[in-house]
Chain A
């Protein structure tokens, strides 16, 4: 069971709970990708490498602690997912994690 914070910014968000199939050894990212393909494609998450913990893009907070979604394991309980609390929120679990010099701005 994944309880996920949804919304564009902190003031107008909501909680959503999804039950995902549990298979021992699976990652939280597996669960989030399952939700997108099977329940709600609008759920925003950020990742590149899927499984390798190489890109370091999938950081979220799990029960208030920062984790990589690709290495945190799914557990058969309610797990609460929120965007990184020290970063600007973009949407749902996606935050602005790029260093300021790597962001696109109008010239």
Chain B
């Protein structure tokens, strides 16, 4: 097509409009900056935030006395020794303030007798998790922030922008180049500071709980621009994602709130409770952490004691209908519309890719290693170590978003001269607007192949043989993808959009697989069947960089750090 690029200039470019991106935009605008808030799709509708059904952890002390340091201890314990402590501290220390600000903005946290209700969740030492009824935490958080964005002056919103590459000027990041889906034209977004708030990478997996736009694009953008990633092997699987019967119009992680409120029983196909075999007896309460829960379910299935669709049963048969109604009101009717009556049948659940602990290396100011580039929310790596404590994701989005917005604004104010050009703008525009070669391959099918490979081989249970098989498959897909995008280059060209998604997803999948292969131990979300134990040598964080198209890992145990590929 070779269309003329569209252009925009701003002080702060925020990429991604989930909770982290929207909060960053609000904070940067409050500090006096012009902000461009860009998203792959509609503003404040996609991403992970809108899907979060409950809960948000913060030491408010509203239910019982609490202090951020207790939340911090629980976060470090859940992270199995690998948390980045300054980041974890920031999350826990500033969480309560952000939760109260959201309350002031009218989010509507559930209350009892005027006090904000805090639920007990696995891994926490006391009730600490706030929520919005019924199953409405994420949508309420998104809506509240959308309203706050609309009230802030100085924020320009721009949807349907698929960012292809960050723009560099001598190593400084000076904005981004994007494919504008609404026209098919390339867009140059020049910015003094750029914040990546693109969320995680759950789309790499066949069974996942997040939006279709969570393909790890921020990680790939950062890596290609020269930044480092950390802890990329740690993908959190949520143990009880809905499996069967077919349920539409509801998020697959919806059973979590049911378990918070009502306990519920996990059963194998003999209708026996089984988590005690793996070290955690539940006794009608919800206590098992996410890494252990996923492990126990997959092992039970492997032993031939799984449910018909390959998971286990979750049963609320022991709960009276009145208790179900009181806790979930209209949700019970939505279940009935799907033919599900919890008083008569258990449902089937199985682990589902849910969150990524790893991400872009950033300090407690959300500054990455590259001047002008900041990160926020799930895109940031390290705060949650090898396993995230339930309830920390939205807290992290709010706290890190706010901090990134402030830091980016400070950076803009300190900047002496405005960047006047980008070294790689021409290359980026040429790729986005490339004349379509007449190659005929099915990008949507390639996406499914990648998702199946990652689910089966770099999922919740891993081994050297499986990971190597995944790397082979990823390599073949990379070859098939080639160097230029297909399609006619006109608006909403799905194959071209898939191509840019795959370019990012395949790079990130490679990093996850290589980091998982190198870590020869089992810790948190990294469960290696060939190395089933925690290793004292591996109390360290692996970082990854891109060097001459190869992934360079470092930070592993000294004797093993020669691994490059």
Contact = CB atoms under 8 A, between A and B. Distances in A.
Interface of A: 8, 23-27, 33, 36-38, 41-57, 68, 70-71, 73, 90-92, 94, 96-98, 101-107
Contacts of B181: 90
A45 B492 CA distance: 9
Binding site secondary structure of chain B: loop
B42 A57 contact: yes
Contacts of B443: 41
A96 B180 CA distance: 13
Given A48-B45, A103-B159, A94 B180 contact: no
Contacts of A102: 42-43, 157-159
Nearest to A91: B492
Given A37-B445, A37-B447, A104-B180, A51 B250 contact: yes
B532 interface: no
Q: Which 5 A-B pairs have the closest CB atoms?
A: A25-B246, A48-B46, A104-B158, A52-B251, A36-B444
B248 A25 contact: yes
Contact of A70 (B38, B182, B249, B447): B249
12 contacts: A27-B249, A37-B445, A41-B494, A42-B493, A46-B41, A47-B212, A49-B51, A55-B50, A57-B45, A91-B492, A94-B492, A105-B6
A45 B212 CA distance: 12
Contacts of A103: 158-160, 182
Binding site secondary structure of chain A: loop
Contacts of A56: 45
Given A48-B212, A52-B250, A57-B46, A104 B6 contact: yes
A43 B448 CA distance: 16
A50 B212 contact: yes
A48 B41 contact: yes
B494 A42 contact: yes
B46 A49 contact: yes
A21 to B, nearest CB: 13
A55 B492 contact: no
B429 to A, nearest CB: 14
A26 B246 CA distance: 7
Interface in B133-186: 138-139, 157-161, 180-182
Contacts of A46: 41, 492
